[in-house]
Amino acid sequence: MRAVSNKEVLLLCAAILIIDLLAFYWLQSITQLIGFDWLIYLIHGLFWFFTIGLVSSIIILKIRLDRIHPQRKHLLITSLYGLTVSSFIPKVIFVIIISVLFFTNYAFSQKESLLVIPIVGLFSGFLPFFVILHAIFRALYRFKVHHSKIRTQHLSEKTGRLKIVHISDLHLGSFNFRYHILERAVKIINHIEPDLILFTGDLVNNFAWELKGWSEVLQKLEATHGKYAVLGNHDYGDYSSWKTEELKQKNFESIKYFYRKIGFRLLLNESEILDFKGTKLGMIGVENWGHPPFPQHGDLNKALEDLPAADLNILLSHDPTHWAEEVVGVTDIFLTLSGHTHGMQAGVNLKNKQWSPIKYKYKHWAGIHKEGNQYLNVNRGLGWLGFPGRLGMRPEISFIEILPKS
């Protein structure tokens, strides 16, 4: 995550205070219905205790940020992020709804606010609060398998189906060394019995120390024909200040070495041929390719230059914008796998309908996409970053079956 300026912190604190002042004004219309003065004072006191505590914590964290160990810093930031979101959004909704109800009632009936208005307003605030709590404490690690089937003439009946598990965006630092959580995902993946496990980057948030102890978990991933990976934008250490360039490079080399430790072939603008039951698979991987401000290290031409003819080419590229820019209609790559978007960790999935605010930034942000005879799968991410929750956008394990055309 990029550094937040003092101005941005002050604007955030000002926004929290303004919304809380408005929320408190309407809260009094509800607490005046309570018959016990001591209870009213208690509710009002707790309201402002939480607000002042939250704002003070944000300011203190910003002042002391550079003196806090990165591991503890990440935990504090995400905890405050979760508290801020779970407080701020419900209060905004509460203020908007109760204001609209009150002024609508006043404009059309010219009467005092009805009892139902503060009750509806209160409900409108509590409902999103509990939804956000569910996103943080329940949905964050409810791993979901998204199963897709693709048919192609590139596979014969003799070859049979190719089973691919695609995972992305682990952000291991966000798990805070709770190894047992990710072990559940490993068991789900191994139960699929995949031929290939393909990982499309963002192994860490920023630092190699996040990898401590994780090799014992990730070594357990099993695939009959191989495990491949590429780097994501967070794997380069660009989101932190380094005392020297040598320290940054050492961090980067440690992250690359970790892939060898867990049995993954890391493709750095490289490719190779993999034999799958007599079918030649072209396994291609590029370094992070993205539009600014994301680093542009990917070189597809370099990755393809020494690749012999293959029956079916598969590309691993972290950022899904790469597919439309350099793959579709230009190459013979059959399947591209990406991640990066996380589905914004918030959205709506109803049967075949899906929506997330991230769609206004990325045309292809989740699931399978097809143009001509070329496919893209965008994984919603197995880990998380920033907001410690997932709202309607559960952590994903993509299970893709490539089948011969019948």
Q: Judge whether residue 110 has pLDDT over 60.
A: no
Domain's final residue, options 109, 137, 165: 137
Distance of CA 59 to the CA centre of its chain: 26
Identify any residues that bridge with 346 across adjacent strands, giving them in sequence order.
391
In this structure, is residue 245 part of a structural domain? yes
Q: What is the domain extent for residue 239?
A: 144-404
Domain's final residue, options 71, 106, 137: 137
Looking at the structure, tell me whether residues 267 and 157 fall in a common domain: yes
Greater model confidence, 4 or 149: 149
Q: What integer pLDDT is reported at residue 80 of this predicted model?
A: 84
Is there a contact between 175 and 383 (Cβ–Cβ < 8 Å)? yes
In this structure, is residue 34 part of a structural domain? yes
What is the token pair recorded at 185? 């995902």
Number of domains in the chain: 2
Looking at the structure, tell me whether residues 95 and 218 fall in a common domain: no
What is the distance between the alpha carbons of residues 160 and 279, in angstroms, rounded to a whole number? Answer: 10
Looking at the structure, tell me whether residues 244 and 313 fall in a common domain: yes
In this structure, is residue 234 part of a structural domain? yes
Q: What integer pLDDT is reported at residue 344 of this predicted model?
A: 95
The separation between the first and the last C-alpha atoms of the chain, rounded to the nearest angstrom, is 47
Looking at the structure, tell me whether residues 47 and 185 fall in a common domain: no
Q: What integer pLDDT is reported at residue 391 of this predicted model?
A: 94
What is the distance between the alpha carbons of residues 320 and 215, in angstroms, rounded to a whole number? Answer: 27
Q: For residue 115, name the pLDDT band (cuts at 50, 70, 90).
A: low
Looking at the structure, tell me whether residues 129 and 161 fall in a common domain: no
Q: For residue 158, name the pLDDT band (cuts at 50, 70, 90).
A: confident
Give per-residue pLDDT as tens, 300-354. 999 999 899 999 999 999 999 999 999 999 999 999 999 999 999 999 987 778 8
Looking at the structure, tell me whether residues 79 and 190 fall in a common domain: no
Looking at the structure, tell me whether residues 38 and 130 fall in a common domain: yes
What is the distance between the alpha carbons of residues 134 and 201, in angstroms, rounded to a whole number? Answer: 27
Looking at the structure, tell me whether residues 133 and 276 fall in a common domain: no
Residues in the chain: 406
Give the dihedral sign, CA 137/140/141/144.
positive
The mean of the pLDDT values for the chain is 91
Q: What integer pLDDT is reported at residue 71 of this predicted model?
A: 66
In this structure, is residue 358 part of a structural domain? yes
What is the token pair recorded at 52? 């002042």
Least Cα distance to 22 among 47, 57, 3 occurs for 47
Give per-residue pLDDT as tens, 196-232. 999 999 999 999 999 999 999 999 999 999 999 999 9
In this structure, is residue 364 part of a structural domain? yes
Q: Judge whether residue 25 has pLDDT over 80.
A: yes
Looking at the structure, tell me whether residues 181 and 127 fall in a common domain: no
Q: Is 386 exposed, middle or buried (0-12, 13-18, 19+ CB in 10 A)?
A: middle
What is the token pair recorded at 336? 């591209």
Q: Judge whether residue 113 has pLDDT over 60.
A: no
Q: Judge whether residue 107 has pLDDT over 70.
A: no
Q: What integer pLDDT is reported at residue 148 of this predicted model?
A: 97
In this structure, is residue 1 part of a structural domain? no
Least Cα distance to 112 among 102, 127, 123 occurs for 102
Least Cα distance to 345 among 396, 405, 270, 401 occurs for 396
Give per-residue pLDDT as tens, 254-292. 999 999 999 999 999 999 999 999 999 999 999 999 888
Looking at the structure, tell me whether residues 390 and 282 fall in a common domain: yes
Percent of the chain with pLDDT over 90: 71
Looking at the structure, tell me whether residues 245 and 389 fall in a common domain: yes
CATH number at residue 386: 3.60.21.10
Looking at the structure, tell me whether residues 149 and 81 fall in a common domain: no
Q: For residue 123, name the pLDDT band (cuts at 50, 70, 90).
A: confident
Give the dihedral sign, CA 148/152/158/159.
negative
In this structure, is residue 396 part of a structural domain? yes
In this structure, is residue 193 part of a structural domain? yes
Q: For residue 22, name the pLDDT band (cuts at 50, 70, 90).
A: very high
Domain's final residue, options 111, 137, 163: 137
